[in-house]
Every structure is written in C-alpha cells, then in structure tokens.
Amino acid sequence: METFWFCVIALLWLGYLFLEGFDFGVGMLLPVLGRSERERRVLINTIGPVWDGNEVWLLVAGGATFAAFPDWYASLFSSVYLPLVLFLLALIGRGVAFEYRGKVDSARWRRTWDAVIVAGSWVAPLGVGLLLATTVFGMPLDAAGDRVGSPFASVRWETLLGAAAVAGYALVHGAVFLSLKTEGEVRERARALALKVAPFALLPLVVLLLTVQLRFGSVWTWAASIVVGLAAFGAYARLVLRREGQAFALMGVAVAATVAALFGALYPNVLPSTLDPAWSLTVAGAASSPYTLTVMTWVAAFGTPAVLVYQGWTYWVFRKRIGTRHIPDVHVPTGSSR
Amino acid sequence: MDVLDLARWQFGITTVYHFLMVPLTIGLSLLVAVMQTAWVRTGNRKYLAMTKFWGKLLLINFAMGVVTGIVQEFQFGMTWSAYSRFVGDVFGAPLAMEGLVAFFVESTFLGLWIFGWDRLPKKVHLACVWAFSLATIASAYFILAANSWMQHPVGVELVDGRPRLTSIWAVLGNNTTLAAFPHTIFGAFAVAGTFLVGIAAWHLWRRGDDGPVWRASVKLGTWVGVAAFTGLAISGDVQGKLMFEQQPMKMAAAEALCHTEQPAAFSVFAIGDVSRPDCENVKSVTVPALLSFLAHNDFTTEVKGIEDLVPMYQEKYGTNYPVDPKLGELSGKPIDYVPNLPVTYWGFRLMIGFGGLAVGAGLLILWLTRGGRTPGGRWFKWLALGSIATPFLANSFGWIFTEMGRQPFVVVPNPSGVDGVWMFTARAVSSSTPGEVLTSLIALTLVYGVLACVEVFLIRRYVRAGVAGVLPARAPDDDTGKRDDTEKRDDDVLSFAY
C-alpha cells in the first residue's frame, strides 16, 4: 500500500512536469518567440485555457504527499524553506500575470507583466528541479527529520543540476508544444528554436540521470534512463520531420522515464539523510496508516479518471492551432471614464 | 521575535488575505451562474451584460485567490512541520481530497468557461460555470472539514503519541464542520450580495446607460444578502452553542466573561481594556440573560467564566510547558490558557456588527431605489461604496476570532473525544531559523500588498467602465441568444483571448 502511494506521488509529479512543463516553457520563450505584441498574445493563448488546471497537479502532489507521507511532506518542505518561498513567489507572479497582463491597454503595463511571466517561468521550474533533486539526493537530516545546517543546505551542485535539468526540459518541451499549437511564423520559429537548443538544454538532464545512476542506480533505472535518451532522440528526429504531435508525445515519454528513473533510484527512501542512512525517511516509515491510505486510494480511484477525462476534453476543445489572425483586438476599459 | 511569533504572523496575514478572495469567488461564481442561466433561458441582453460584467470581476478576483491558496497548502509543511507530522494521518486527507475532487474541477472548468464563449454549445458552456461554482463550494467543504478537525478532533485514536484516523466519515461529518460550513457559505453569499448591491448602486447613482442591468443587480444582491444574513444568524447561533460545549474558553473569551455567571448577560460593547485583570468593569451595555440563552437555549443556565475554566484546563493539560529546547523561550513556562481577550472580544463583536451593517445598507439601498428611483446625493455614493467593505470585514474578524480564540492550542482538545489528541501551537512550528521565516514573512507581505493594490486598481477600472468595458457596443437587440451553436469557423478570431 505504501509502495502504491509512492507510485501515485511519482505519477502526480509526472503529470505536473509534463503539463506545467510546457506552460513554463511557453512563458520562458515569450520574449524570444513573440516578436510583436500580437505574437506574444498568440503564445500566451496557447496555454490560456489550461495552465491553471496544469498547476493543480502540483497542489494535488503536495496534498497527496501530506496525506500519504506526512513526514516526507513536513521534512522536505521545512528543509527547503527559502528556495520554496522563491518558487511560490514565482508561481504567484506568473499566475496573476497571465490574468492581468491584457486587462490594461498600455505598453508599459504589458511589459511589466511580461517580465513577471518570464521571470516566474524560469524560477518555478528551477525550483521544481531543486526540490526533486533534493528529494533524490537527500538532505542533512537529524533523527527527528529536521534539517541540520544552513538554510541553503539544499543548494548543492547535484540539486542545481536538477534545477537546470527541469528548466532545460521545460524550455524544449515548451518549444515543441508551441510548434504543435501555433501556425505561421511563430510555429516555424518555435520549431527551429527547439531543434537548435535541445542538445544543450537537455544536457543537464542527461548528466543528472548519469549522476543518479552512478550513485543509486539499479538495472531498471538504467533501463529507464536509456528510454529517456531514446525518447529525447526520437522527439528530435520527429521534429526534424515536422511531426510535432509525435515529438510532443515522445517528450512525454522522456519525462515519464525520467520520473521513473528518479523515483526508482529513490525507493525505498522518500528523503535520504546525508548524515546517517539510519535517519533517512523511508516509504514505510514516513507513510500514513493503512486506513488513511485506503481512504485515499478510494478517492484517487474515482477522482483520477474523472480528472483525466475532463482535462483531456479541455485539450480537445482547444485543440486548434492558433496564429496571429485568430487574436482579437484589445478590448479593455479605458481609464478616463468618469 | 522567535519562529513561533513569526510563523503565526505569517499564517495570519496569508490566511486573512487569502480569505478576502475566497468568499467573493464562492458567492459571485454562483450568482454569475444564475445570471448566465437567466440569459440562456430568456435571451435578454441585460442578463448577458450582467454575466460578462460580474464574470470579469470574478476572474480578476479568482486569479488572486488561486495563487494565495498555493501558499496556504505549502505553508503547513514549511512553517508548521511539527504540526504536519503530528496530524498528517488525518489532516492531509481532506486537503488532498480538495485538490483531487474540487480544485481540479474549478480550474479546468473555469478555463473552459473563460475561453469557451462561442466555442462550446451554449448549454455546455453554461454547465461549465455551474461546475466551477459548485466545485468552489465543495472546496470550501473539504477545507472546513480540515479546519474543524483542528477545532474539534474526531474520528481518530491515539497510537504511539499520534492521532491515527479511524473513520473518515467522522471527520467529514464532524458536527463542527456541519455547523461551520453553512456559516461560511452564507458569509460568502453575504459578501457577493453586498458586492453586487454596492457596485450596482454606485452605477445607478452615476446614471449611465445601463440602468436595467444595475437595478437587476441591486435586487438580486439585496435578496441574496438578506437571505445570507438570516442564514448567518441561524448558523452562527448553532455554531455558538456547539462552541460553548466544545471550546468553552473561546466563548468565555468572546464575551470577556471573567466570572461564572448565572444567568449570564451578553455584552454588546465595552469601553476600556477588556483584557485581564479587570475585564468585568468595562462592559458598558449588556443584555441580561442573553448569553445563557445563546449558550444553552435557556435564559437561566450558568455560563462558565475564565477564572473557573483556567483551573479545569490546567488540571487536564498541565500548568507548565514541558522543558524542551524546541519550545524556545516558552520551555518550562506556565501555560496561558486565556486567548488574547481584546482580539477575541472585539473580533466577535466586529464580526456581528459589520455583518449587520452590510445587510442594513443593502436593505436601505433597495428601499431608496424602489420603483425606479435613484437618490442623487453624494452620501448615496459613499453608502454604496462603503457597504462593499463591511462583509469582508465581518468575515475577516470572524476568522480572526475563531483562530485566535483557540490559542494556545493549534489542535483543540475534544472534551468528549480521545484523550491526548491535542497540540499546543508552540509545539507545532518547524525548526526553521527566525531569519528564514522573517524573510518569507516580509517577502510574502510585500508581494501581497503590491498585488492588493493591483487588484483594487483593476477592479476599480472595470467597475468604472461598467458594461461598456466588457461588451463591445452593438445594436440593442443583437446577440439575443439566436446565434446557432455550431463551432466557429477555422479562420474566425477567438471570441475570447488573453
């Protein structure tokens, strides 16, 4: 049962990385691919109807960790305090920016919110990467599960590598998504950019997986890591052939295999202590009671399929490519009425 | 300040701020769903204008509610990790359920509603706003179930010093939840109703072109507000009676009731400092025997005062905090079982007072605008605008009262429940450094402050622009619902885009 919930948490992270991954990428690329105001609006509107639903995957991952592994939730979130605050501020800024940027017709107003979107879209995946890498590589935890050492104990080269890996993935994933969701010049630019930056942007992910492999690897995490490589390579090849849909799906396979490799390497720990292996939080030790896990299983059994169905429907409703010709003129209140 | 104080300030600030958006979202979303239903059924453009106008304000507000809600969920682990470890077996479940069952629905269907105008068949689009609205209410239920468990832990047994969940139905059916939920939902409708009345009355006063839109809004808002206030009074009474049973100290603090009284008088207001030692000498207007009735439905029964309750608490939960370095300066110190009296006493009164002001202003505005009349004086403008703030204040003071009133406990002992399932707030905090929490406290407060200005600025802008800000000018009887429901052609511009 604990192991099952460990897998559920991994799946929730997978959902989050796959879905919000591309909307982070779109935010990162806003000033690069959106050369005019209308183009920037095209980019934002590719994710407009869905980014909020994507973000809920994070909330559910957090809530499910709290319910199923309270010790994991408590130790991780309190130990990585300051980076998490920065991450939350990034999500706050980004979230309101999408909603507010078009509400006033002023270049300065839009420039300000664009800056918030770009900054938030970089900082947030960096934070997610740091958090995930911290979970895998562990923290200096004492016997009570509390952090020993400075507030920046989670900032180490391995975790920074994790941050770069997730951000790099989001960047490429976002570019592939845009080449799938837009038309015209933006689409061409997105595709060209994805092809150009992918080898560099995905490099940290490869290094991260190798590091994890050397440190905690087993046969089947090797297998997962190889799948990541093949899927990424496949995505690249499909994109060259302009099969954007398949490329996007293969990016999904790559992130799924990445999550499998990371969580596979982590198991049976949920948060290793770097001070003493005996103090590591484990799947069995950090889990809630069997009754709570049973309750949660019932909730997940009914909730998850429903979520997948209606979120899938949303993507179907808004499946069309969009381009500058679809963007309506600005209609907002003028400030002068009285 | 130590970590405990900083963490409490942070939780208080972020929660009160978050709860400015939540009730407006809950109440307004349902009213917008009703307006859109009226539009779909009648085809009257007035209702379309209402849906679009109030819907826009709803969206501006919802965005802020979402992002501040994320902080709430993470904060338990970040600043209250000892609490999270202690209650994880039970407290995480309703939070996770909220995410999985309610919040996914909210976010997804709101996206469909915003971008689905003219893209979805009209009835499907209408169903989206209903799904969104009902999910916000479901969200409230799960969050209140979690909060109510902290006020009155049920459905658990104590195993190895930690509560372990034995019945999720007991947690979801906690009588504290069943009392808090209607009270909170009625509070949300009071906010939304007053919001409608205040803004619409201001527009009437300005005498623009859209009189019918604003008259319909005033009417809807007032009746919703009156119904909500009635519901608030009834549910508040039920909740109060329950609270006298479950948290007698909180209610004694609400009244600054020092000595046990029989029959007990209800204090309307006080002049001077209600905190000890002389809280009995400052109450200025009291209603004899009313407190006895509020507590026990009987004008003669005894209501226990603070000085008799303290020894009862001391006997059960100890006189001193344990000696433990994690408790900081409180380690080994006597436990103060009396919540902050000025805060609880005035919080309780301000909650009720501002609630009364809200409904009074609403009724007054409805009467002043009866039969097509529009008062012209400047005072009317200020009445309209001022009324908007009152239910927000009532809600905030209500929460401040309910959360401060349970100190020094974060999990209040259940007098008829499992012994040992309770926790002092001082024990609940993380072992973070004060610097960390101070940094986040400052950062979050600053960002929230800036965002508050932005939200008010945007809402003000859209309010001023009125219907013209949300609907392009067009012939009066255009778009009366006769458009066919087929999907838009591929080269059409989007009917809605950021």
Query: Which of B73, B443, B458 has its CB closest to that of A59?
Result: B73
Split at pLDDT 50, 70, 90, the class of A338 is very low
Instruction: For residue range B352-384, list pLDDT tens digits in order.
Output: 999 999 888 888 988 888 888 888 788 888 988
> What per-residue confidence (pLDDT) applies to B279?
65
How many other CB atoms are found less than 10 A from the CB of residue B385? 15
A201 pLDDT higher than 50: yes
Higher-scoring residue by pLDDT: A217, B240: B240
Q: Which residues pair with A182 in a beta bridge?
A: A322
The torsion angle over the Cα atoms of residues A225, A227, A228 and A230, rounded to 10 degrees, is 130
Instruction: For residue range A252-286, list pLDDT tens digits in order.
Output: 999 999 999 999 999 898 999 988 888 989 988 89
Contact B97 A299 (CB under 8 A): yes
CB B310 within 8 A of CB B336: no
Crossing angle between the packed helical segments B378-404 and B341-368, to the nearest 10 degrees: 150
Which of B289, B295, B293 shows the shortest CA–CA distance to B262? B289
Contact B100 A55 (CB under 8 A): no
Q: What's the CA angle centered on A297, arms A295 and A303, to 5 degrees?
A: 105
CA Rg value for chain A: 20
Contact A76 B77 (CB under 8 A): yes
User: B308-312 contacts: CB < 8 A, separation 24 or more?
Assistant: B308/B259, B308/B260, B309/B248, B309/B249, B309/B252, B309/B337, B310/B337, B310/B338
> What per-residue confidence (pLDDT) applies to B487?
47
CA distance B109 to chain A (A): 8
- For residue B381, give the amino acid letter: K
ipTM of the complex: 0.92
Query: Which of B99, B164, B472 has its CB closest to that of A56?
Result: B99
Q: Which of B84, B125, B130 to mutate to test the interface with A (most CBs of A within 10 A)?
A: B84
B485 pLDDT higher than 50: no
Query: Which of A78, A292, A333 has its CB closest to that of B464?
Result: A333
Contact B70 A59 (CB under 8 A): yes
A89 pLDDT higher than 80: yes
CA distance A54 to A128: 14
A1 pLDDT higher than 90: no
CB A167 within 8 A of CB A135: no
Instruction: For residue range B273-296, list pLDDT tens digits in order.
Output: 777 666 666 667 888 888 888 888
Which of B412, B427, B407 shows the shortest CA–CA distance to B154? B412
Cα nearest neighbour of B86 on chain A? A70
Instruction: For residue range A127-145, list pLDDT tens digits in order.
Output: 999 999 999 999 998 988 8
CA distance A152 to A134: 12
- B473 CB contacts (<8 Å, ≥6 apart)? none
Split at pLDDT 50, 70, 90, the class of B42 is very high
Q: Where are the domains of chain A?
A: 1-205+213-313
CB B212 within 8 A of CB B44: no
Q: Which of residues 10-49 of B touch A (CB under 8 A)?
A: none
Cα nearest neighbour of A80 on chain B? B78
CA distance B235 to chain A (A): 30
- From chain A, pick out residues whose CB is under 8 angstroms from the CB of B498: 41, 44-45, 48, 98-99, 101-102
A1-205+213-313: CATH topology is: Formate dehydrogenase/DMSO reductase fold (1.20.1630)
Query: Which of B96, B451, B494 has its CB closest to that of A45?
Result: B494
Q: Residue B440 corresponds to which tokens in the numbers above?
A: 């986040």
Q: Which residues pair with B162 in a beta bridge?
A: B159
Interchain CB contact of A333 with B (< 8 Å)? yes
- From chain B, pick out residues whose CB is under 8 angstroms from the CB of A322: 494
CA distance B441 to chain A (A): 10
B486 pLDDT higher than 50: no
Between A and B, how many CB-CB pairs are < 8 A? 266
Q: Where are the domains of chain B?
A: 3-251+352-468
- For residue B252, give the amino acid letter: A
How many other CB atoms are found less than 10 A from the CB of residue B493? 13
Average pLDDT, chain B: 88
Q: Residue A84 corresponds to which tokens in the numbers above?
A: 């998490």
- From chain B, pick out residues whose CB is under 8 angstroms from the CB of A135: none
Instruction: For residue range B247-268, list pLDDT tens digits in order.
Output: 999 988 888 888 888 888 888 8
Interchain CB contact of B269 with A (< 8 Å)? no
Interchain CB contact of B368 with A (< 8 Å)? no
Which of A63, A299, A289, A296 shows the shortest CA–CA distance to B156? A289
What distances in angstroms separate CA A141 from CA A211, A279, A281, B3, B102, one per listed residue?
21, 7, 9, 19, 35
Cα nearest neighbour of A60 on chain B? B99
Interchain CB contact of A108 with B (< 8 Å)? no
Instruction: For residue range B158-174, list pLDDT tens digits in order.
Output: 988 889 999 999 999 99
Interchain CB contact of A70 with B (< 8 Å)? yes
- For residue B131, give the amino acid letter: A
Q: Which of A47, A289, A321 to mutate to test the interface with B (most CBs of B within 10 A)?
A: A289
> What per-residue confidence (pLDDT) applies to B491?
58
B495 pLDDT higher than 80: no
Q: Which of residues 421-480 of B touch A (CB under 8 A)?
A: 430-433, 435-437, 439-440, 443-444, 447, 451, 454, 458, 461-462, 464-466, 468-469, 472
Contact A292 B90 (CB under 8 A): yes
Q: Which of A20, A91, A103 to mutate to test the interface with B (most CBs of B within 10 A)?
A: A103
Q: Which residues pair with B285 in a beta bridge?
A: B269
Q: Residue A137 corresponds to which tokens in the numbers above?
A: 């590589």
**B401: Cα separation from own chain's centroid:** 12
Q: Which of residues 40-99 of B touch A (CB under 8 A)?
A: 59-60, 63-64, 66-71, 73-74, 76-79, 81-82, 84-85, 87-93, 95-99
3-state secondary structure chain B: CCHHHHHHHHHHHHHHHHHHHHHHHHHHHHHHHHHHHHHHHHCCHHHHHHHHHHHHHHHHHHHHHHHHHHHHHHHHHHHCHHHHHHHHHHHHHHHHHHHHHHHHHHHHHHHHHHHCCCCCCHHHHHHHHHHHHHHHHHHHHHHHHHHHHHHCCCCEEEECCEEEECCHHHHHCCHHHHHHHHHHHHHHHHHHHHHHHHHHHHHHHHCCCCHHHHHHHHHHHHHHHHHHHHHHHHHHHHHHHHHHHHCHHHHHHHHCCCCCECCCCEEEEECCCCCCCCHHHCEEEEECCHHHHHHHCCCCCCECCHHHHHHHHHHHHCCECCCCHHHHHHCCCECCCCCCHHHHHHHHHHHHHHHHHHHHHHHHHHHHCHHHCCCCCHHHHHHHHHHHHHHHHHHHHHHHHHHHCCCCEEECCCCCCCCCCCEEHHHHCCCCCHHHHHHHHHHHHHHHHHHHHHHHHHHHHHHHHHHHHCCCCCCCCCCCCCCCCCCCCCCCCCCCCC
